[in-house]
Amino acid sequence: MENNNRRPLKVRGSVWSQKFASYLSKKDITPNQISIGSIVASFIASIFILSISNDNFFTIWISPILAALFIQMRLLCNLFDGMVALEGGKSTKSGELFNDIPDRVSDSLLFIALGYSIANISFGIELGYLAALFAALTAYVRVLGASMQAGSCFKGPMAKQHRMAILTTALILTPFEFSYLNSDYILTVTLFIITIGSFLTIINRTKTIYNTLEGK
């Protein structure tokens, strides 16, 4: 089933995702529960992000890798809540609430934690909160456009999947940076990229919605 308000993802058409979504649909699991699961995964990821440091094997290697793993778990929850709801025929009237609100909470947990993890720079914490704000605003603009009959705009350059891909990559690279370069720039640069990219996404989506409404 197609839905114009769904983020276009090629992975939905893959055999493995359809089989697993079908499996979940047959279980006593609701799409809303899966959506809540994304918050749990993000919370765990944020705890591991906060524990990242150049102190010992666990904080250098285990913490960032597990954080990256739970971020991917969050994305899998984001994928399967919609598939179970629509393809599995378990959609509810409150589904949109559970589709959007957990994403805002998850983004905030991750970016604020990332800000605290780079608190060695004077504005690291503030940058984390700013990234969380801009991430929320990208979604706000999308939802506002849909409410104005301009359609759901999922344009980037820093949509959710881009933010999570960049953060996951940075977390995987961080142990190598600690171990072989004895530096800690990757996470700081990553937070800058996410913040600036999210701001540009807000502008891009706003412009697209404006042009749609004005028939340009």
Domain layout of the chain by residue ranges: 12-213
Question: What's residue 157's pLDDT?
Answer: 97
Residue with tokens 């697993």: 20
Question: What's residue 7's pLDDT?
Answer: 82
Q: Over the chain (216 residues), what is each successive 10-residue block's mean pLDDT?
A: 66 90 93 97 99 96 99 98 90 89 98 95 96 98 96 96 98 97 94 99 98 92
Query: Structurally, what CATH architecture does the domain formed by 12-213 represent?
Result: Up-down Bundle (1.20)
Question: What's residue 76's pLDDT?
Answer: 97
Decide if 155 contacts 208 (C-beta within 8 A): yes
Question: What's residue 9's pLDDT?
Answer: 83
Cα–Cα distance, 56 to 77 (Å, whole number) = 31
Residue with tokens 């995702």: 17
